[in-house]
């Protein structure tokens, strides 16, 4: 009887293209799901597994994805705004052409991610693992990369003049100037 009641009160799983607001999917397993075009507004996705999810053109605004797993997630053109992605894992994810703004990705793991042509604005990547990321053509404005590891990252065409690099490791494995 208790299982039935818990099932009745659980938030329905998000669907492609759906607007999801003020819901909680904390600790949920949404791995491999098709969530293309889904718009998440002020949703709790803490520790949620979105590994391998299809999130093409998805939008996350004001959501909490701290300690979430988005490894190998397919997210081209996604909007990530005003998010908490602290300690999240986005290893080998594809976010090409995405827009990331006013978000906290401190201590997140993005190693091997495809971040080509992304736009970054007022974002904190303090202590992030960015080893081997592809940031070709990305625009980074007022981005904090303090203590981030950029070893092996492809930064061709990237302007880091507006980035904070205190204690960061540059692509050649040496401390950034």
Tokens of 127: 């202590």
What are 140's strand-pairing partners? 120
pTM: predicted TM-score of the whole model, two decimal places: 0.91
Q: Confirm whether 6 is domain-assigned.
A: no
Q: Confirm whether 128 is domain-assigned.
A: yes
- Total domains, the chain: 1
What's the distance, Cα to Cα, between the start and end of the chain in Å? Answer: 63
Give, for all 177 residues of the chain, the pLDDT tens digit: 333 333 334 578 899 999 999 999 999 999 999 999 999 999 999 999 999 999 999 999 999 999 999 999 999 999 999 999 999 999 999 999 999 999 999 999 999 999 999 999 999 999 999 999 999 999 999 999 999 999 999 999 998 888 999 999 999 999 998
Q: Which domain CATH number covers 113?
A: 2.160.20.80
Q: Confirm whether 3 is domain-assigned.
A: no
Asked whether the beta carbons of 122 and 141 are under 8 A apart, the reply is yes
d(CA 120, CA 126): 14
């Amino acid at each position: 009887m208790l299982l039935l009641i818990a099932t009745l009160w659980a938030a329905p799983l998000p669907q492609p293209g759906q607007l999801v607001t003020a819901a909680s999917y904390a600790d949920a397993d949404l791995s491999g799901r098709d969530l293309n075009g889904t718009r998440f507004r002020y949703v709790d996705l803490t520790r949620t597994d979105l590994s391998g999810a299809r999130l093409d053109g998805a939008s996350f605004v004001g959501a909490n994805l701290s300690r979430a797993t988005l490894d190998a997630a397919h997210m081209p053109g996604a909007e990530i705004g005003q998010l908490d992605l602290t300690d999240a894992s986005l290893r080998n994810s594809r976010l090409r052409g995405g827009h990331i703004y006013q978000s906290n990705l401190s201590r997140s793991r993005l190693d091997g991610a495809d971040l080509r042509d992304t736009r970054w604005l007022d974002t904190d990547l303090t202590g992030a693992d960015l080893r081997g990321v592809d940031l070709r053509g990305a625009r980074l404005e007022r981005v904090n990369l303090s203590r981030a590891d950029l070893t092996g990252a492809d930064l061709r065409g990237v302007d880091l003049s507006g980035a904070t690099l205190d204690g960061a490791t540059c692509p050649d494995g040496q401390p950034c100037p």
